[in-house]
Amino acid sequence: MFDEKLIQEVTAKAQTWLSDGYDEKTRAEVQAMLDKEDKTDLVESFYKTLEFGTGGLRGIMGAGCNRMNIYTVGSATQGLANYLNEAFKDLDQIAVVVGHDVRNNSRLFAETVANIFSANGIKVYLFEGPRPTPELSYAIRRLGCQSGVNITASHNPKIYNGYKAYWDDGAQVVAPHDVNIINHVNAIEDVRDIKFEGNPDLIQSIGEDIDAPYIEDIYTLSLSPEVNKKYHDMKIVYTPIHGVGRYMVPRSIERWGFDNIIHVPEQDVMSGEFPTVESPNPETPSAMAMAIKKAEEVDADLVLASDPDADRIGLVIKNTKGKYELVNGNQIQIIFLYYLMVRNRELGRLTGDEYIVKTIVTSETIRKIADKEGIKMFDCYTGFKWIATVMREMEGKGRYLGGGEESYGFLPETFARDKDSVSSIPLMCEIAAWAKDKGMTLNDLFIDLYINYGYSKERGISVVRPGKSGADEIAQMMVNFRENPQQTIDGSPVVLIKDFLKLEQRDMLTGEVTPLDMPVTSNVLQYYTQDGTKVSIRPSGTEPKIKFYIEVHDHLDKKENYDAKNEWADEKIDRICQSLGIA
């Protein structure tokens, strides 16, 4: 299965992990892999070093240089600490915030990170227990820190964990700091270079002193408090899917005036085992099944969820047939940004300097709404660090209304710089109440929006290819799509191709090639067709998969045709998937 040269390379790497620089449990786990006749685990654990990328680390937990453990976490932290001491050498005291989610080993990794920072003379504000990822971003800004680390693998399956690095603006690191940190991390060649022995005097526990102001600042985002009060008893089913949203999200919902929160008791249990779901991802129907069942029992107005680190939001509403239906990530962004633009206009708060942000793979319907409402829209790369970059560049130049991406993340505030379900969920409750006050459901609001601004439907497809062979296959798929581009998609000619790796776009009708104005290159390819279809293709930066984003457009003339239009769109997207070979 594996060639002899690769076996020799991983064996040599693994044997270095048998030294006394590693703990006994780790050495035993490595020795067991070496002794096994089947070398699959050995290869997957050592064929490469878990890369500290521009967002940090994410990987399967276990022993080995390609796994999440105290040594890969330690190397990342020592490199980051070295860079912080270089970048902020003129400060009397450098400070960081460290947080974590509920995953197995998250507290261990967080304490390891805190100890290493403190051993390097850096003050650490360590959350006393699991907290939402966006609250860490908030704390960095509130406490005036220079950096922060959150231990989380977001919505990945339970075998994963991760490490997110943040800068002094509360956003995940971008250039030039990302590359500089990576260089310092790569310079850690020996486990003995990592300072594991912490300085307790430099570690301070934080909790309610951040929780309380965070909730109050989120409440200032409410645009319709009188409507919230009127519909305070609206039935809201909420599930944290075993994650950190368990306490903070209901607290935030209640602060906005809603007092009829219906829980899913089995999923209120905070556990890294995620016992009731295969994957704790609010994008998937299976993860939302228990909440939907509860909604059916109580006839809920809407169903809301957060993922394990409470940065993403899941939404379920009743469709035209009265059946509960999962809302996709693009629709979530559309409804949030539509409300923020239209409601600000209703309140007379638009002055002409407002702006919104979306990612390049998120629905173009948002652009149509912004154009019609006269509000500037920015397109950026996937990942909230890029949305935060726009926010940083626009400080003092415009008023941020909101920003989001199709992967179920939205940010309605400026006091945090990462996607935030703790603020987004009560905002969605408010939108439902606002619609109710106009005699509409959320589904009615969607239909009305599509009639006024144009119909669209989007679908994301992920093709998973784990391991080394999978990574090679994904790389080859991107090469094939780039070197042998689609000429037509579902019978409609491709009229424009955007290649963000080359930072150029090609007009397929004229042959004209023009540059794309983006800050850096990214391995993303987009096809646009004559009939308005948009297909985006990119490999995931954090998971072993290649992602396809398919978006189709048409006109919707009246409510009665909505279901038929959805059927048309589903059939069209199915045909597109077949033509791309991903059906």
Give the pLDDT of the chain (583 residues) as one tens digit per residue.
678 899 999 999 999 999 999 999 999 999 999 999 999 999 999 998 888 876 789 999 999 999 999 999 999 999 999 999 999 999 999 999 999 999 999 999 999 999 999 999 999 999 999 999 999 999 999 999 999 999 999 998 999 999 999 999 999 998 889 889 989 998 998 999 999 999 999 999 999 999 999 999 999 999 999 999 999 999 999 999 999 999 999 999 999 999 999 999 999 999 999 999 999 999 999 999 999 999 999 999 999 999 999 999 999 999 999 999 999 999 999 999 999 999 999 999 999 999 999 999 999 999 999 999 999 999 999 989 999 999 999 999 999 999 999 999 999 999 999 999 999 999 999 999 999 999 999 999 999 999 999 999 999 998 888 777 788 888 888 999 999 999 999 999 999 999 999 999 999 999 999 999 999 999 999 999 999 999 999 998 666 789 999 999 999 999 999 999 999 999 999 999 998 988 7
- Number of Cβ atoms within 10 Å of the Cβ of 470: 15
SS3 of residue 247 by DSSP: helix
What are the residues whose beta carbons fall under 8 Å from the beta carbon of 405, sequence distance 6 or more? 329, 333, 358, 359, 361, 362, 382, 383, 384, 387, 419
> What is the chain's alpha carbon radius of gyration, rounded to the nearest angstrom?
24
Choice among 106, 137, 147, 154 that is catalytic: 154
Which helix (H) or strand (E) segment is 578 a member of?
A: helix 562-580
For the question of residue 540 being annotated catalytic, the response is: no
- CB distance 102 to 207 below 8 Å: no
Q: Sketch out the chain's domains with CATH numbers.
A: 48-206 (3.40.120.10), 215-453 (3.40.120.10), 455-580 (3.30.310)
Q: Give the model's pLDDT for residue 582.
A: 87
**573 near 88, Cβ under 8 Å?**
no
Listed in sequence order, the residues at least 6 apart from 526 whose beta carbon sits closer than 8 Å to its beta carbon are 360, 497, 498, 499, 500, 534, 535, 536, 537
d(CA 505, CA 527): 10
Beta strands in 415-569 (DSSP E): 455-464, 488-489, 492-499, 504-507, 513-515, 525-529, 534-539, 545-554
Cα separation, 331 vs 335, in Å, equals 6
The pLDDT score that the predictor gives to residue 189 is 86
- Phi/psi for 453 (5° steps) reads -120, -5
Q: Which of 247, 230, 234 is nearest to 295 (CA)?
A: 234
- Of 406, 309, 393, the C-alpha closest to 355 is 393
Instruction: Report the alpha-carbon distance of residue 512 to residue 340 in Å, rounded.
Output: 38
Q: How far apart are CA 267 and CA 239, in angstroms?
A: 6
DSSP-derived letter for residue 266 is G
Spatial neighbors of 162 by CB under 8 A, at least 6 apart, are 56, 57, 58, 59, 68, 151, 152, 153, 154, 156, 542
pLDDT at 1: 64
- What span, in angstroms and rounded, lies between the C-alpha atoms of 279 and 464? 14
